[in-house]
Amino acid sequence: MVSDYIKLLLAILLETTGLYTLMQYPTVFGFIIYLFSHSIASYLLAITVAGILKIFYKYPYIHALILNFSIFFFLGPFAILFGVISVLIYTKISKVPAPVKEVDYEILFSVRVFSEKRRLGEGSLRFSKVKSLEEVVYFTKFYHPLTVRFFKQLLFSDNDELRLLANSYLKNAEKYLQELIYELERVLESQELGRDVKFFVCRALAFLNWDVYYLGFMEEQIAKKYLDNAKEYVIKALEIKEDPSLYLLMGRTELSSREYQRAYEHFKRALNLGMEPVKVLPYLLEALYKLRDFKELKQVSEKYIGTYSVNPKRMALISAWV
């Protein structure tokens, strides 16, 4: 925040200098000098406020910059003074430290937490008990592990229509993915492909095999084959061309295999190649948590402050360990 304070001091200095010049020389020349100083002061204050809005409220930087500059420029010296005071007060309030206690991590890791496993349908998704076909049909639009698990639960419903719907959903979703995999494997084996086309096919096969594993259609022992296939096709694709999304995918496969150090290295590589931090950070933080590298976890969280908050799933982890 030192640079922000310097910007605020410069804004005040420029604004007062411009006003003093205008008062001493109430001419066109004095007005031009004031206008120039006021414009720079408005811009410095606008970029400071825009930076705060971006970090704490995810407001688009360019939009905030234009809006704030317009306000400070057209409302004159009083807007500059009010803006500087507001920023100074806000930065003081936002830096109030939360009470912190030293944590004995060995004690935490030695404690075994007991919890009762809840059946899907006993929380917000209560359709297996409601037996409402119309409500359940809505979930056929989605492909997610929770949705797959939900329809697996419906296979044991007393309602014949729900059982048939669940069976149809699971069968068709799995069949669709496997048919895509079969067709792409056939293309890969039966034709002489150029580098770009081969890269595209291998990349697609990596993600499709991962989807079959991740969605959880099969038991763990059978699904592991698709996880291994996903890794194999990622490696083949990376031999042709580096792609940050493939390093992210490889990191996720390593997380699933409990190879946390390898997963961390792949996630870092994805970031270095330009992958959006918002897509990588949840998994990178999870890998660091599994490695118990809380020092690095804290450094990464501080470096990308504001980015991880869009993923609520990881906020409990961050709140506990950062």
DSSP label at residue 120: T
pLDDT for res 55: 65
153: CB partners within 8 A, 6+ apart: 119, 120, 121, 128
- Can you tell me the distance from the alpha carbon of 223 to that of 306, in angstroms, rounded to the nearest whole number? 36
pLDDT for res 94: 55
Element counts in the chain: helices (H) and strands (E): 16, 0
Structure tokens at 308: 């991880």
pLDDT for res 201: 87
Q: Looking at this protein, which amino acid is placed at residue 305?
A: I
Burial (0-12, 13-18, 19+ Cβ within 10 Å), 131: middle
pTM for the structure as a whole? 0.54
- Can you tell me the distance from the alpha carbon of 87 to that of 50, in angstroms, rounded to the nearest whole number? 11
pLDDT for res 115: 40
As averages over each run of 10 residues, the pLDDT of the chain (322 residues) reads 70 80 82 83 81 68 79 77 73 53 46 41 43 68 79 80 83 86 85 83 89 82 85 90 90 90 90 86 87 84 65 50 45
